[in-house]
Amino acid sequence: MPDPAVPPTPPVPLGALLDRDDLGLRRIAGPDDPATAIHWAHTSELPDPSPYLLGGELLLTAGVHIPEGADRGPYFEEYVSRIVAAGGAALGFGLAPVHETVPRALVAACDAHGLPLLEVPPRTTFSGVARAVWQLMARARTAELRRVTEAQQSLAAAAARPDPVPSVLGRLARRLGGWAALYGPDGTDLARAGRDPGREVRSALADLAAVVRPARRPPPGPSPEPSASAPSPASAADTLGDTHLTAYALGGGQGFVLGVAAGRREPGDHTIASVAAVLLSLLTGEQQGGGGAARSSALVRVLLGAPAPEVAPLLGAGRWVVVHARPEGRPPDGVGASALGAALGSALVDLADDVVRVLVPAERAPAPQPGWTLGASAAVAPPEWPAADTQAARALARARATRTALVRHGERAGFDALVSREDAEAHARTLLAPLAAHPALVETLRTWLSLHGSWDRTAVALAVHRNTVRQRIARCTALLAADLDDPDVRMELWFALRHRE
């Protein structure tokens, strides 16, 4: 954060003013550091302007205040020392009409105290210098706002990725040119990104994270003495050598902390890191509102034996879609599963070994998600959830086999309406009876038919070797005593498989 004694404006490098040909400024004393920060331009002809300085100013004077014989006394020494003590960044001395040249004693005093001294030519007005400072500040402010806006957009896009937490940390580390880490409630380094700053910096950042981590709630029961400890701060900053350290407590009171270590500290960095902290709070925090209470109530009732139709009204929807999902190129994790649920508009998420299942209200039709392969069931009422779960699993297998981002289970009611459900199920039982004792053969036949007889795609969908698929289909052909190359046979078998349940 900027020094509170300095005006809250973006600083202007002194070198940027010296580079302006229209001003014609020339440094004649003090350190040659073009990066000297100028926060303000102020004009004063007082012998002691220090009470009116905030710090960081380019103080402009024409020397009206200089008394006769000042060169032979301590006047300039005291004048410059007071400016430096007040935090003045540089001194500009205007030539004519009062002084034709800059007093040599003033040059010596500025050299002695390390205050940059600029010669302002007669053609350049002080208001022109001040206007140039403001113009450069406006450009710096615009550039900083653009940088912060682009960083916010980049972080938001990272939060929508399948691996949101590592993505947000990676984008944050790149934007700030440093290292970012997410600490768990017990202080464990859960995820990190960026250039490793070394063991000493990592240890210091972990200690700083402990400062902002909320204290754990005491166990239930009477407390011998009331606690008088102050609440933990929302953020804290420190330095270790040339490295700036910052820690942000994530919202929700769960104890997660974002830590950042960077070699530089720009004015917009705090805003960028705060945006990342908000996104990480959403990704890691548990939402305990009314919806959370309803879900908890539904879970308890299910565990106590309540049927699904009785529990479903607590979840707030009449018809539901079951979605099965797998991330691309990696196993699913809890944070990614939660982010997927948020993207699909549902908090009802189940993370299994190799698949994420989400129960989505039917009015929120699932859409393809970057980095995920999805299979969606038909919209069903709660009593049909188990069947919808099977539909979603098969749709996901087909999506993976065909390399499609989203496959939906079709509701083709036109042909089915010609035959009653009871007759269709009886026909299916009779036709598929030879396969009844071989569930693997039934599933292989169903998948093979759905993929138009493709051996390779069926093998991918079932996660088996293509030769295994060929052997199973050959076994089905033998048991059914049917020609599976005949399209009529395939159509009849597909109809039977659709009604086998």
DSSP calls for 123-146 = TS-HHHHHHHHHHHHHHHHHHHHH
Contact 40, 61 (CB under 8 A): no
For residue 430, the model assigns a pLDDT of 86
- Cα separation, 210 vs 206, in Å, equals 6
CB count, 10 Å around CB of 350?
Answer: 14
Mean pLDDT value across residues 450-475: 90
Mean pLDDT value across residues 296-309: 70
Q: Which helix (H) or strand (E) holds 448?
A: helix 439-450
Q: Which residue did the predictor score with more confidence, 146 or 186?
A: 146
Res. 489 pLDDT band, cuts 50 70 90 = confident
For residue 165, the model assigns a pLDDT of 84
Q: Which helix (H) or strand (E) holds 42?
A: strand 40-43
- Phi/psi for 377 (5° steps) reads -85, 175
Q: What is the mean pLDDT of the chain?
A: 84
For residue 390, the model assigns a pLDDT of 87
Whether pLDDT at 273 is above 70: yes
Contact 10, 267 (CB under 8 A): yes
301-325 burial by CB neighbour count: b if 16+ within 10 A, else e?
eeeeeeeeeebbebbebeebbbbbb
For residue 253, the model assigns a pLDDT of 64
CA end-to-end distance (rounded Å), the chain: 65
Sign of CA dihedral 134, 262, 216, 164: positive
What predicted TM-score, i.e. pTM, was given to this entire model? 0.49
Give, to the nearest 10 degrees, the angle between helix 164-176 and helix 126-159.
160
For residue 328, the model assigns a pLDDT of 83
Res. 1 pLDDT band, cuts 50 70 90 = very low
Whether pLDDT at 288 is above 50: no
Res. 425 pLDDT band, cuts 50 70 90 = confident
Mean pLDDT value across residues 269-283: 86
Q: Which residue did the predictor score with more confidence, 220 or 148?
A: 148
Res. 207 pLDDT band, cuts 50 70 90 = very high
Question: Among 167-176, 403-412, 484-493, whose mean pLDDT is lowest?
Answer: 403-412
Residue type (1 letter), 241? G
Res. 216 pLDDT band, cuts 50 70 90 = low
Res. 221 pLDDT band, cuts 50 70 90 = very low
Mean pLDDT value across residues 407-414: 66
Whether pLDDT at 418 is above 90: no
Whether pLDDT at 227 is above 50: no
For residue 289, the model assigns a pLDDT of 42
Pairing of strands 57-61, 90-94: parallel
Question: Among 137-151, 333-347, 461-475, whose mean pLDDT is lowest?
Answer: 333-347
Whether pLDDT at 303 is above 90: no
Q: Which residue did the predictor score with more confidence, 411 or 15?
A: 15
Q: Which residue did the predictor score with more confidence, 281 or 15?
A: 15
Res. 42 pLDDT band, cuts 50 70 90 = very high
Contact 148, 176 (CB under 8 A): no
Res. 223 pLDDT band, cuts 50 70 90 = very low
Sign of CA dihedral 29, 35, 39, 41: positive
| Burial zone of 385 (CB within 10 Å; 0-12 exposed, 13-18 middle, 19+ buried) | middle
Q: Of 141, 178, 174, 179, whose CA–CA distance to 157 is shortest?
A: 174
Res. 218 pLDDT band, cuts 50 70 90 = very low
Question: Among 93-97, 321-325, 399-403, whose mean pLDDT is lowest?
Answer: 399-403
Domains and CATH numbers, the chain: 12-136 (3.40.1390.20), 161-215+234-284 (3.30.450.30), 317-411 (3.30.70), 415-498 (1.10.10.2840)
- Cα separation, 196 vs 189, in Å, equals 13
Q: Of 158, 140, 128, whose CA–CA distance to 267 is shortest?
A: 140
Mean pLDDT value across residues 480-484: 88
For residue 285, the model assigns a pLDDT of 58
Tokens 């879970």, residue located: 299
Whether pLDDT at 156 is above 80: yes
Question: Among 170-184, 194-208, 316-330, whose mean pLDDT is lowest?
Answer: 316-330
Mean pLDDT value across residues 259-273: 87
Whether pLDDT at 34 is above 60: yes
Mean pLDDT value across residues 206-222: 70
For residue 230, the model assigns a pLDDT of 53
